[in-house]
Chains A and B, each alone.
Chain A
Amino acid sequence: MPSKLELSRYPLQWLFPVLILVVVFTVYPFAYAIYNSFFQILLVLPTKPFIGFKNYANVVASPYFWESLGNTLTFAAITAPVTVLISLGVARLLLTRFVGRGVVRALVLLPWAIPGSVAGILWLWIFHGQFGVLNALLYKLGIIGSYIQFTKDPRLAKVCVMIAHVWTQIPFTSVLLMAALTTVNKELYEAAEVDGAGVFRRLLSVTIPSVAGMMIISLIYELIIGITAYDVVYSLTGGGPGGATTLLSYYIWKESFTQLNFGTGSALGVLVALLTLVLITTILKVIPNQVMVREGE
């Protein structure tokens, strides 16, 4: 193990291997996407002429772009906070001692081990309009008189995709929040109880302020995941019906591999990266520094 002195003496040398990976897998693809976004790259054409900002103009003029942008922002704005809030409850539950906690922990973490595309197929069988488990259950309970086409109705399809996505995200965020919760000083709870604080008050005055930093990190992480979500959409709805669940990442894939237009696909990729950057920077600016610092204290 290198000593602190060695690390501080040769910072660049120590960083070099990681920097190489970052350059190869992040900087180069991003720079290449920016470069490609200025060319007309249609796979069926042998040439790729320089067209300046025309790809960006085409993207902005496309009705699909605005629809998928709206879908993506709504999707991320709803799924990120919902995931964090549910995960907080799950994390708190998993830290409580009860019989069978080990089994419950394993079950809750299970979706983490399932790829998003597989999760989409699992949820498709739940939401299926003709053979879905949910329809069968609701019908048997007498709640519905006929089966509902969950994934074929634009509004319901959006909800279905959000539910499936949140389900896949809860385990990871729960683990992050469990780690944060274990650091909370138990004396704070005892003091709050002595002061007569109930469960809800303790949650608001002790738990949330204590893990606010981790909640914000989780929220930012979930926002990025929400903005770049792709696999659940791909396997659950295919972006439909009629583009109702098409998110930006799915739209990039469609432009590139169905429309065979890598120029427009690259322009879209650059726009998504910029959008994510702006969003995260804004969030970090808006949040008071104390919230992030408190946890490290």
Chain B
Amino acid sequence: MKRFAWILALAILLLPVLVFAQKVTLEFVVWNYSLETIQDNIALFEKANPNIKVNVKDYTWPTYHDTMVLRLKGKTRTDVFYNGEDWLPEFAAAGWVAPLEDYFPEVRKYKEKTASYALADMTYNGKLYGLSYYADLITFQYNKKILKDKGITPPNNWDDVLNASLKLKAGGLQFPFVYEYDETLPNFLQAYISQVYGRGGDMFDAQLKPLFNDPDSEAFKHLQWLQDAVVKHKLVAYGSHETKVDLAMNTGQHAFTVMYNYMLAAMNNVEKPLTGQFDMIPMPGAKHGALGFAKFYCLTAQAAKDPARRNAAWKFIEAFGGGDYKVAKRWAVEKGLGFAALPLMDDPDVKKAWANWIDMEKFKAQAKLAKNGTQTEWMGMWSGFFRPLLAKAINGDSSVADVMDQGAKKWNEYKELLGR
């Protein structure tokens, strides 16, 4: 009896040690943008949380969605991953991700500190599913030197863009507009939507009925504008990726582009030949709106089921996407990535770093006019269907009316199937 009591006492004494010694390993999946920064952030996190080990697995951006579908459907162990605003409803409906609010109600405190478009993008059925990795806008960017040299004022609407482009072409610039053209990328559709927002249009009404197939809609008019710019006026060169558009803009052979705003930081980088020549203006059009979006750290449903993994994942998500926003600030300062955290708008370090490549006040003004995209369970699938059609219309291989009708038909099919 005495021996048993000793063993019991020893076990009770050792229990906390055993529990603390148990290291939780998190599987963290990302797309491979600036992997060295991600790894460094992880190293700092592990140092501060010695009981949590983080394995990072990266995939390329163009293949990310499909790889994640396979990974999550195949139940490959995944705890936290980068999620996109257009995939959240799809992944949530499939039961692959878990709402943070259900497990960690304290996450709600971040809502008021988050830009509205980003908050909407991370919310599904009224529940917050993540904290932001970054949030940005798709903006209209231009070479201010080229315009100044030719005596052209920055365009205010798409007629101005056309007239300025024609003038530049007549002056020797073969393709004044360079357009990121790759139908495999989700942002191919998002860039178009951002331009539609600039005109004051929208893709869908409040009941999710397509508006874009109406010839009087701004979406319809804008696709026609793009087709005319490519086919009729031959004003547009294509870049297959944002990095290629950056290189092309830095040749001085193009004046306008529409891209993720953080690319302005890349184009104005001091090591680039035309550093300092690039700027943004409000998206042309009557309303100057733009698409705002958020990419975020998301907890998987499989991790949520295991308390140890779930708690470690929350610690990780909060350290990376919340807290004092140290990680988001690092991305903003070092890489020019936009952010969802409103407090960073007035952060002196961010302001100082951004002053090298953008007028912060202009960005703030555009952010105020920005709104998020329409996110439904079928948006990712529909986007995959519609992007090749969009590419066809821009190239002039299909009429705008045909493309819009096919897109609307498919949207309605998905809505009928999944919209209940």
A interface, CB within 8 angstroms of B = 42-46, 63-64, 128-131, 146, 149, 151-154, 238-244, 246, 254, 257-261
Contact = CB atoms under 8 A, between A and B. Distances in A.
Nearest to A40: B417
The 9 A-B residue pairs whose C-beta atoms are closest, nearest first, are A242-B392, A258-B384, A238-B184, A242-B391, A257-B66, A243-B388, A44-B94, A44-B93, A152-B238
B69 A154 contact: no
B381 to A, nearest CB: 5
B418 to A, nearest CB: 7
Contacts of B184: 238-240
Interface of B: 62, 65-66, 69-70, 73, 90, 93-95, 174, 181-184, 237-240, 244, 247-248, 377-378, 380-381, 384-385, 388-389, 391-393, 395, 397-398, 406, 417-418
A259 B385 contact: yes
B65 A258 contact: yes
A239 B389 CA distance: 12
A258 B66 contact: yes
Given A239-B388, A240-B391, A257 B69 contact: yes
A240 B182 contact: yes
Nearest to A257: B66
Contacts of B380: 258, 260
Contacts of A257: 66, 69-70
Nearest to B413: A58
25 contacts: A44-B378, A45-B93, A45-B418, A129-B237, A129-B240, A130-B237, A130-B247, A146-B174, A149-B237, A152-B181, A152-B240, A238-B62, A238-B182, A238-B184, A239-B184, A241-B391, A242-B388, A242-B393, A242-B397, A246-B388, A257-B69, A258-B65, A258-B66, A259-B385, A260-B69
Nearest to B188: A240
Contacts of A239: 183-184, 388
Contact of A259 (B237, B239, B247, B384): B384
Contact of B247 (A131, A149, A238, A254): A131
Contact of B377 (A44, A64, A151): A44
Contacts of B69: 43, 257, 260
Given A130-B237, A241-B181, A63 B65 contact: no
A148 B406 CA distance: 30
A44 B90 contact: yes
Contacts of B248: 130
Given A238-B182, A238-B183, A240-B182, A42 B238 contact: no
Contacts of B406: 63
B95 A46 contact: yes
A258 B381 contact: yes
Contacts of B182: 238, 240
B327 to A, nearest CB: 30
A154 B231 CA distance: 13
Contacts of A42: 417-418
B392 A44 contact: no
A242 B398 contact: yes
A170 B210 CA distance: 49
Contacts of B385: 259
Specify which of A64, A128, A239, A260 lies most central, judged by the most chain B CB atoms within 10 Å of its CB: A260
Which of A44, A130, A151, A241: most chain B Cβ within 10 A? A44
A154 B69 CA distance: 30
Given A149-B238, A241-B183, A254 B62 contact: no
Nearest to B385: A259
Given A240-B182, A257-B66, 15 more contacts: A45-B418, A129-B240, A130-B237, A130-B247, A152-B181, A238-B182, A239-B183, A241-B392, A242-B388, A242-B395, A242-B398, A243-B388, A244-B397, A257-B70, A258-B384
Contacts of B62: 238
Contacts of A243: 388, 391-392
Contacts of B397: 154, 241-242, 244
Contacts of B244: 130-131
A243 B62 CA distance: 17
Nearest to A261: B381
A64 B388 contact: yes
Contacts of A240: 182-184, 388, 391
A238 B93 CA distance: 28
Contacts of B94: 43-44
A154 B66 contact: no
A260 B73 CA distance: 10
A130 B395 contact: no
Contacts of B65: 258
A260 B90 contact: yes
A55 to B, nearest CB: 13
